[in-house]
Structure 1
C-alpha cells in the first residue's frame, strides 16, 4: 500500500542521536503502512551503517555515501520518496507519538493545503525549552522564517512544480524554497506541538543563516535591499541577545 507520508532523516556520524529519531518514528501511533522511513547517511564511520543494516526491515530505504550536506541529503531522499506528503526530521529531533495522526486528521479536514506546519519544542543546551512555530503568512514570511520547518509536511507535488532545494545555500535552503514559491504557497497551520528539536546546529549557533537569508531575499526580489539589511540587523541583534541570556560563548 502506498504510504501517506515519507519521513526523511539525514544523518552523519551521530548514531546515538539517530537511534532516538528512528525510535520516535517506530513509536508513532498511526499504522506503519501509512508512512515510509528514509534515512540518508553522509558516509558515517561510527557504526551507523551497521545500525541501518540491522534495521533494514523497518527502514524503507537507506543509503550511506558522501554528500555535500543537509540539502543534498534531502534532495536524495526526495528522489526516492513515494509518499503523498514529505516530512523532514533531523537526526537530533524526535516526533511525538501522535504527530502523523494529527496531520492525517488535519489534512482530511483541509485538503486544499500543499504545506502544513505545526509547533515544535526547542530544547537549548542548558535544558530550557520554548515552543516555536507560527502560521505561514506571506507578508511576514518574506521577512523572517516564522514557521517551524522541523516535522512540517509538504505535498510531494510541490517539489515537482517548484524544484528541489537549492545547493547554493548551506544553512537555510528550506527558507529559499518557500521564498521561491512566494504567495502561491497554499499553507495551513496546525496549532499543536508535534516534535522536539535540539538547538546548537548551524541555524542557531551561527550568523550564516541570517547572511544567507539577506542574500536570497535580495536575489529573489521579495523585499528591497534596504529592508533586507534592516531584517538582518534586527535578527542579528535578537540572536546575540539570546546567546548572552543563555550564556553561550560567541
Structure 2
C-alpha cells in the first residue's frame, strides 16, 4: 500500500473540522500521513484539531496569504507517495475509500472518482452536475471542471506548487499541470468524496469564472475555449431544463 499524504486547510471552521478529521482518521488504510494547515483560527478550530494531535502527523497554525498559499505549505511538508486535499467541511466518502482507491489498479500516477455534494445543513444534494469522465487527461477540463479537487489522488513526484497568481481557481491549473505529466490515470468507478458546497470560488463566483476562462485559454487556446464555453452554456441550459421537468 503506497503512502498517502492528506492535507486539510482550515480557517475558523470549528463547526465542520471535526467531521473532516474523523473521515480521515477512521480510514481502514493506515498508510496515511495527515497534515492540517490552520490559518491562525480564533474560533476554537485549533482546539478541536489538537484533540486529535496523536492521529495528525503535522499541525501548522499561522497566518497565510490565502488558501493556495496554505496548500503550498502542506505540499512542502508532504512525504507521501500521493497527495490528496480534503479541506475543512469535506469528507472522504467512507472508511474503505482510500484502501479501495489504491487496490483498484496499483501504480497509477493519478486516481480519480466521483463526488457527492452536500449543502450547509449537510443534506445530500446528489452527484455533481459535471460528472467524472470515464477517461480523464489534461484536456478533459475543456468543458468544465468535471473532477473535484477532493476526488483526485496525484503522485507527489508530478505535482508542482500552486500558482499564487490565481486567487480562486489555481486548483484547476494545478490538476492540469499534473495530468500533462501523468502516463497512467485510473478511474476508480466509485464515490470517493463528499463535498460541502460553497468555498471561496462560490463566494467570488464571477472572479472565479474569469480565472477559469484564462486558465483554459492558456492550455486549450482562445478560439477553442470560446467554442467550448458555448457548449458548456448549452449543456447548462439543458441540465436546468431537465432538472425543472423532473421537479414538476
Return the TM-score normalized by structure 2: 0.83
Aligned match of 1:61: 58
Q: What is the root-mean-square deviation in Å for CA atoms of aligned residues?
A: 2.6
Displacement of 1:120: 1.1
Displacement of 1:227: 3.1
Q: Is the 8 A contact 1:10 1:73 kept in 2?
A: yes
**Ranges in structure 1 where 5+ consecutive residues have no aligned partner:** none
Aligned length in residues: 232
Displacement of 1:46: 0.8
Partner deviation per Cα, 1:223-242 (whole Å, 9 max, x = no partner): 23233234446556739x86
Q: 1:138 to 1:36 in 2, by over 3 A?
A: closer
Q: Is the 8 A contact 1:15 1:46 kept in 2?
A: yes
Answering whether residue 79 of structure 2 is matched by residue 43 of structure 1, we say no
Aligned match of 2:145: 145
Displacement of 1:36: 1.3
* Structure 1 counterpart SS, 2:54: coil
Matches within 5 A, 1:1-250: 4-30=3-29, 32=30, 34-95=31-92, 96-108=94-106, 111=107, 113-125=108-120, 127-132=123-128, 133-134=132-133, 135-159=135-159, 163-181=160-178, 183-186=180-183, 187-205=185-203, 206-218=205-217, 220=218, 222-232=219-229, 235=232, 238=236
Q: Is the 8 A contact 1:210 1:232 kept in 2?
A: no
For residues 124 and 51 of structure 1, the distance between their equivalents in structure 2, rounded to whole angstroms, comes to 22
* Structure 1 counterpart SS, 2:16: helix
For residues 24 and 64 of structure 2, the distance between their equivalents in structure 1, rounded to whole angstroms, comes to 24
Q: Is the 8 A contact 1:114 1:155 kept in 2?
A: yes
Q: Is the 8 A contact 1:211 1:232 kept in 2?
A: no
Q: Is the 8 A contact 1:117 1:149 kept in 2?
A: no
* Structure 1 counterpart SS, 2:87: coil
**Ranges in structure 2 where 5+ consecutive residues have no aligned partner:** none
Displacement of 1:170: 1.6
Displacement of 1:148: 2.5
Moved more, 115-124 or 171-180: 171-180
Partner deviation per Cα, 1:31-83 (whole Å, 9 max, x = no partner): x3x10110000110011222233322111001111112221111111111111
Moved more, 117-126 or 98-107: 117-126
Displacement of 1:141: 2.5
Partner deviation per Cα, 1:91-148 (whole Å, 9 max, x = no partner): 010112111111220242xx2x211111111123584522233341344324422223
Q: 1:62 to 1:229 in 2, by over 3 A?
A: same
For residues 23 and 77 of structure 1, the distance between their equivalents in structure 2, rounded to whole angstroms, comes to 19
For residues 230 and 196 of structure 2, the distance between their equivalents in structure 1, rounded to whole angstroms, comes to 25
Return the TM-score normalized by structure 1: 0.82
Q: 1:3 to 1:66 in 2, by over 3 A?
A: farther
Displacement of 1:27: 1.6
Displacement of 1:178: 3.0
